[in-house]
Structure formats: structure tokens, C-alpha cells
Amino acid sequence: MDEGYLKFVMVGHVDHGKSTLIGRLLYDTGSIPKEKVREIRHICDSLGKEMEFGYVMDHLEEERGQGITIETTQIFFKTKKRNYVIIDAPGHVELLKNMLTGASQAGAAILIVDASEGVREQTKRHAYILSMLGINQVIVAINKMDIINFERETFDSIKTELLNFLKNINITPSYIIPISAKEGDFIAIKSQKLPWYNGPTVLEALDSFVQKERPVNKPLRFAVQDVYNFDKRIVAGRVESGLLKKGQSITVLPSREQTKVKSIEEFLKTPEKAEPGKSIGLTTEDKLFIDRGNIIVNSSDSSFNITKSFRANIFWMDKTPYKLDTPILLRCATQEVMCRIESIIKIIDSSTLELLDNNTGIIKNREAADVIIKTDKEIMIDDFLEIPEIGRFVLGKEVTVAGGIVKGKTI
Ligand code: GDP
């Protein structure tokens, strides 16, 4: 079994079968306790219905509320090969918000399309977001094949339409699989009802994906959260990427001052190193000025980029539109700076992918824009596709009105 988790998002138009497929994946991999299955079956029986896999999700949702078995929006299951985490997003705004704020970082996606309805608005919006976030391990599941009698023609025509759309946004799906989430065809088992399809099941397709490179092999980025003056001065923060080691030479950004890590401090421990995702404290050899919002990097690494101006893709998700040059707060890891969007290169309707008039100087709700951002103070940023933890940001003070990623080779 591979270590770690493969995280993936489940996306698609409302009612196309996300919850049902999640319920089915959990059921088919034996991830739901037997009593729970019995209970759900009992509820369905008493309602005179067949077993509804969507109910599994409703059930989990209840427990989620009480904080018993599952974390907020993450659902766990495993195959023989590895552990999985499904990131379930109710809508594309939540999806984007989660992914951009780092609440969830997906290495793969299942895009689900109802075979009886075909490609719809949210199918396109969600696909667009996957593309923007550089998720390139994508399974398209054409669901509800039972409704169209498992016919090949309808499947082929949806496949063609979708592939045309996805090509425009640089997504090449790894697999396009006809399924019935309700009846369980081609989720965990191959079925005789689809003799014309000889590709993998959804689980086989997932198992063929690779896990994201562990950020431990990437350059060090330590985001400073706070500095405490006890008998010794402790710099508290989070290792966003790379490895922090005792004795290592470090550079504090944006001041560029250098020192060495004297010790790494954890509760009742002083470890030799700290891995990505760890919130720890450190002490330094020299007493430099360090403050919240500083980013600490390895002194031998010059890959960092400190700037007051950069190009980004943003996704506006607030009813109030943005007017060019309006000051707004930008937050990236623990860094907070005032900024302005000083130029809009293009604006795209995230659903139709239509290029909108960008001379208006306004970005409206649900529009994606390719922009140049100017900050009041220097900020340290990375290309989103290289170090997503420091390559993504949000705009807005109390309310997040937009999410963005620092643009490298994205669309
Ligand atoms: P979501 O909004 O994407 O989460 O969609 P749901 O999973 O709630 O499914 C919406 C409706 O479609 C429910 O009534 C499901 O029972 C139904 N449904 C889901 N998958 C299938 C399927 O494979 N076949 C059929 N016939 N119905 C399905």
C-alpha cells in the first residue's frame, strides 16, 4: 500500500450524482460500518424505496455536523492500493474558496456528468476551475447510464461534446467512464451491461493516478505567525513547504537578513527537523527583527520571488463587482498587504468561457480574470504550480471576495 493519501475533488452539475457516487464508493470499498448500512437500508425500506446511496451522504452529513466521524468536508476511504480523501464541495464557489485558501489541495478530480442531461453550466464552471488550479489527473464519469439503457451512442455524443470543451481549457481527461452510481456499474466492478466499454472502473482509474510530490522535497517556506518573547524568543509559524532543520542557514523575507536555526521547539520537544504542514516554533542564532507575515527560506536557495507586482488569475465571488484600481487587502499565507488590480488582461465568463469586454475596468461575480496586481509593500510569492501554499491568495478583509493564484504556465 502506498503511504499517504490521494486527495481528489468530486465535481459536476447539481443532481448529476456526486453524493450518490460518493456513497457508492464508500459502500463498495467497505468503508461504511455494517450497522450504518443496515440502518440506511431500514430507512429506505420504511419509505418504500430502494437503497439510495445519496442517503449515505445525508447520513454522514448529520454526523459531520456533530463532529463525530469525519472532518468538515473530507471523506475517507481506502482501496488495496492506497488511502483516499474525497473533498466534497457543494458548489464551485466553495470549491474554489477551499482550494485557494488551502483548506483542501486536490491531486485529482472526478467530473461527473448525467448521461440523460449531458454537459451543463456547472459542468463547465467546475472544469474551468480544475484547469485554473492545474489539476491534470481527471476522470470523467458519465453517470446514470441505466436511464439511457447503457447505450453507446448517447455516451459517445456527450464524450465528444465534453472533449471539445475540455480541449479549449487544456484538460485532457485520463479516463472517460460510463457508470451507474446507483446500480454500481463500473465503480468497483466491471459490469455485463456495458459490453462495448473495455476501460477501467472508477476505482481502477483512481488507483492508477500518482500522488502529488510531497512538499518536503521542495524549497523551504516557513510562514511566521507570531513572535513570542519568553526567556528565549520563539518565532512561531508553519512549515508550508520544504524541510526546516536545526542548524540550517535561513533568510528572513522580505528583509533578506540571514541567521541560523538554533533550535526547533515543539511542546515538550526539540526536534531536529520539521516537515511541511507542521506548526512549530524556532529560535535563531542572532536576534533579527522578525514579525508576523515574514517568510523564512533556506539561505542557499535563491528561487524565491519578492515583488510589488505580479500576474495572477483571480476568480471573483462576490455580488459587489471590483473596479479597477480600488485598494483591497491581499492575504497570502500569513502575509497581508494592501494591493490594487492595476490592469485587467482578460475577463472570462467561467461558464461559457466567453471572452468578455475587458475595457470596462470591472470584474463581476463569477468572472475569472487574468490580471496584474500591484501591492503597496513587498510580498513573497511563488508560482502556484510550483509551491501552491505560497502561490495562492485571497482578496478581501473580513469577507473573502476573490481567490487567486499566481500565474505561471496556467491559462
Ligand atoms: P448531486 O447533487 O450531484 O450530489 O446528486 P445526487 O447524488 O444527490 O443525485 C441526484 C439524483 O440522481 C438522486 O435522486 C439520485 O438517486 C439520482 N441518481 C444518482 N446517480 C444515479 C444513477 O446512476 N442512476 C439513476 N437512475 N439515478 C441516479
The domains of the chain are located at 5-207, 215-298, 305-406
Under 8 Å between Cβ of 44 and 52: yes
Pocket probe for ligand 1: among 9, 16, 20, the residue whose CB has the most ligand atoms within 8 Å is 20
Task: List the residue whose alpha carbon is closest to atom 24 of ligand 1.
Answer: 144
Task: List the residue whose alpha carbon is closest to atom 19 of ligand 1.
Answer: 17
Under 8 Å between Cβ of 407 and 346: no
- Cα of 58 from ligand 1 centre, angstroms: 13
- Cα of 15 from ligand 1 centre, angstroms: 6
Question: Structure pTM?
Answer: 0.78
How far is 329 from 310, CA to CA, in rounded Å? 15
- Cα of 144 from ligand 1 centre, angstroms: 7
**Do β-strands 355-356 and 233-241 pair in parallel, antiparallel, or remain unpaired?**
unpaired
- Kindly give, in sequence order, each residue whose CB lies less than 8 Å from that of residue 116, ignoring residues fewer than 6 positions away: 144, 147, 148, 154
How far is 211 from 383, CA to CA, in rounded Å? 20
How far is 392 from 137, CA to CA, in rounded Å? 20
What pairs with residue 296 in β-bridges? 222, 252
**Cα–Cα distances in angstroms (integers) from residue 167 to residues 159, 171, 173, 178, 287, in the given order:** 12, 6, 9, 20, 54
Name the fold adopted by 5-207. Answer: Rossmann fold (3.40.50)
| Pick from 166, 210, 221, 174: nearest CA to 386 | 221
Task: List the residue whose alpha carbon is closest to atom 11 of ligand 1.
Answer: 15
- Cα of 143 from ligand 1 centre, angstroms: 8
- Termini Cα distance of the chain: 35
Could you tell me which CATH class the domain 305-406 is placed in? mainly beta
- Cα of 84 from ligand 1 centre, angstroms: 22
**pLDDT tens per residue across all 411 residues of the chain:** 656 789 898 889 989 999 899 999 999 998 887 877 788 788 778 877 776 776 666 666 544 444 333 334 678 899 999 999 888 766 666 666 666 666 567 889 999 999 999 999 889 888 888 887 788 899 999 999 999 999 999 999 999 999 999 998 889 999 999 999 999 999 999 999 999 999 999 999 999 998 876 778 899 999 999 999 888 899 999 999 999 999 999 999 999 999 999 999 998 889 999 999 889 999 999 989 999 999 999 999 988 899 999 999 898 989 999 999 999 999 999 999 999 999 999 898 776 667 787 778 999 988 889 899 999 999 999 998 889 889 999 999 888 899 889 986 444
What is the DSSP code (8-state) at residue 93?
H
What is the DSSP code (8-state) at residue 217?
G
- Cα of 331 from ligand 1 centre, angstroms: 38
Query: Which residues line the pocket of ligand 1, CB cutoff 6 A?
Result: 12, 14-20, 52, 54, 143-144, 146-147, 180-182
Domains 215-298 and 305-406 share a fold: yes
Pocket probe for ligand 1: among 53, 92, 177, 182, the residue whose CB has the most ligand atoms within 8 Å is 182
What is the DSSP code (8-state) at residue 210?
P
Task: List the residue whose alpha carbon is closest to atom 6 of ligand 1.
Answer: 17
How far is 326 from 340, CA to CA, in rounded Å? 6
- Cα of 352 from ligand 1 centre, angstroms: 25
Name the fold adopted by 215-298. Answer: Elongation Factor Tu (Ef-tu); domain 3 (2.40.30)
